[in-house]
Amino acid sequence: MKKQVLEWLQCSACGSSELELVVAEEVDGEVKEGHIACRCGRTVRVTNYVARFVDDDSYVDNFSIEWNLHRRTQLDSANGSRESEERFAAALDFDLAALRGKVALDVGCGTGRFAEVVLKYGGTVVGVDLSYAIDAAFANMGRHPQMHILQTDVFQLPLQAGEFDLIYSLGVLHHTPDPRKAFGSLVPLLKPGGKIAITVYPAYNRAYVLATQFWRRFTTRLPRRLLYLLAHIAVPLYYLYRIPGLYHLGCATFPICMHRSWRWRVLDTFDLYSPTFQTYHTHYEVFRWFEEAGLERIRVREPGISLIGQRPVEA
């Protein structure tokens, strides 16, 4: 953990920004062990380079497993593609070059797939995640001077209001107990004129949704490690589903990820069937979230249900 992150933190108990960092061990400018103390008595431990505002990974243990097994699968720097960069750009309504000098909040940062893009274009990232994927994120890019990583709950973010130029949460909020409430908790963290971009699962393919929901009645009850092994069925099924006429039938019966990389297919198939919470949404529904939060310049982006909006600039 870098000491600079204190600039954005506040106590999750009392809201005070007057926090004291007590360093027990520091390595190459990173706080490896220690704690953050508030005058109200609240103490947050720093272990293995990460400030831990939660005691465990709660309802997201599946993500702790998948992102540590697939720590580098989706990183452009590791797979030699620009897929994450292009995916990130598609969710925004401005050029990536505009990220230079900006401070972004990555909500549900996972292994840092999109944080890597922001860092590449000169931005600063505060990455938060409830799962132990946060340790994979630190291993991937925690040493970058502009990367800051926190393990925390989206419903109790220990961050000061009005601090971020950009907040993004792509493919995350639909895995929380209340996506709308989770979204609402993020908006106050934007600077005036700052933007927020989210992506959630679409509800339009009814056959796909029903098939997924049917299988999840059973898969969410399986031991996580067993389910991960079973997710490897996506490797051969990919070739079957590519036969003309079988793709739509297959996805209406047993959906899988159809990515060309077999590792990515296993990862995303496990991701589909393992989360405790998983909801599907429409553009109209999410557009209302943005409107009710007082955002303006709301734009529909890609893929799935992707929208971006801007906090009004105060007079």
CB 137 within 8 A of CB 110: yes
Confidence of residue 56 (pLDDT cuts 50, 70, 90): very high
Same domain, 128 and 184: yes
pLDDT tens by residue, 182-222: 999 999 999 999 999 999 999 999 999 999 999 999 999 99
Instruction: Classify residue 193: in a domain, yes or no.
Output: yes
**pLDDT on residue 245:** 86
pLDDT at 117 over 60: yes
Instruction: Classify residue 315: in a domain, yes or no.
Output: no
Same domain, 31 and 123: no
Same domain, 125 and 189: yes
Rounded average pLDDT over 81-85: 97
Same domain, 147 and 88: yes
**pLDDT on residue 315:** 41
CB 63 within 8 A of CB 133: yes
pLDDT at 269 over 60: yes
Give the chain's domain count: 3
CB 136 within 8 A of CB 203: no
CB 95 within 8 A of CB 73: no
CA distances from residue 59 to 55, 111, 130, 169, 313 in whole angstroms, order as listed = 12, 18, 9, 18, 36
Same domain, 262 and 225: yes
d(CA 74, CA 107): 17
| CATH number for position 119 | 3.40.50.150
- What is the extent of the structural domain holding 118? 53-201+281-310
Average pLDDT, the chain: 96
Same domain, 163 and 246: no
**pLDDT on residue 314:** 78
Same domain, 98 and 72: yes
pLDDT tens by residue, 118-129: 999 999 999 999
Same domain, 179 and 102: yes
In one letter, which amino acid is 27? V
Same domain, 27 and 175: no
CB 267 within 8 A of CB 70: yes
Instruction: Classify residue 21: in a domain, yes or no.
Output: yes
175: nearest Cα among 230, 127, 110: 110
Same domain, 63 and 126: yes
Same domain, 227 and 187: no
pLDDT tens by residue, 136-169: 999 999 999 999 999 999 999 999 999 999 999 9
Same domain, 119 and 237: no
Rounded average pLDDT over 238-253: 92
Instruction: Classify residue 228: in a domain, yes or no.
Output: yes
